[in-house]
Amino acid sequence: MHTGNTEDVRDHLLGWLLPDGDPAGSLAQQDVERFCWYELPVKWAAEPAEYPHILATLAELLDDADRPRAAAVCTSAATLAILDAWQRTSEEGRAAFRQAVDASPVTPPDTALLAWGPVMGIDEAVARSNASRMLEQALDDGVLVPSARGYATARTLHLERWLTTPHPAHDGHAPLDAIHSERGRAWAEAPPAAGAVCAAGWPTCSPPRPKYTTTRPNPCAGCWSRLATAWH
């Protein structure tokens, strides 16, 4: 891709990020992060010299849509460092990308109730995306303040309340219940090989049966969810 004029770049960005024609203001910060940290260097046919123009154009789009937090991602030091890492090697780029995602305030953390699977089924992926949007809204509203004392604990509690509250995306069930049910179905349909050792250290991976598909923590840390759809 050759960036050309700003209008061409704007059109390309909107077509890529919002193919259904939704307004720029509907972009979640997680979508902006994924574009800046992964899609731009890996999937766009753009030269590194074009990155500043592309990122500045996206930041302007987001500023115009009153999304300053997401706009700041585009020109942050973290984004520049990740793009530099991708230019060195794909391994360095991927490692920098994953580290930045883990550190992002809109990435839902693991909690005592749920460890997000390294790969996910549809319900879990939808829940994780919605949880990220929920955290972003809490940041925008000042409910969560990263610089405040006790922020990490407040963030975890905020997420756990959300996980155990019925949500329309899961037919009125709590996201946690939907995730546990989905993981149980995946395990029942494709159990791990006999004798395998799971990530939690169990001799054979034994996820909770249907009686555990509630808000209770499960004993297996969710590692059997690798049988489902990958998030990345």
pLDDT tens digit sequence for 102-129: 999 999 999 999 999 988 999 999 999 9
Q: What is the pLDDT of residue 193?
A: 57
Q: What percent of the chain has pLDDT over 90?
A: 72
pTM of the predicted model, to two decimals? 0.78
Q: Tell which wins on pLDDT, 138 or 197.
A: 138
By mean pLDDT, which of 25-34, 73-82, 208-217 is the weakest?
208-217
How confident is the model at residue 6, as a pLDDT?
83
What mean pLDDT do residues 63-79 have? Answer: 94
Q: Which residues pair with 84 in a beta bridge?
A: none
Q: Is 230 helix (H, G, I), strand (E, B) or coil?
A: strand
- Judged against a pLDDT cut of 90, whether residue 31 lies above it is answered with yes
What residues have CB less than 8 Å from 113, skipping those under 6 apart?
A: 160, 163, 164, 176, 215, 217
* Average pLDDT over the chain, rounded to an integer: 84
What are the contacts of 189-192 at 24+ separation with CB within 8 A?
189/227, 190/227, 192/224, 192/227
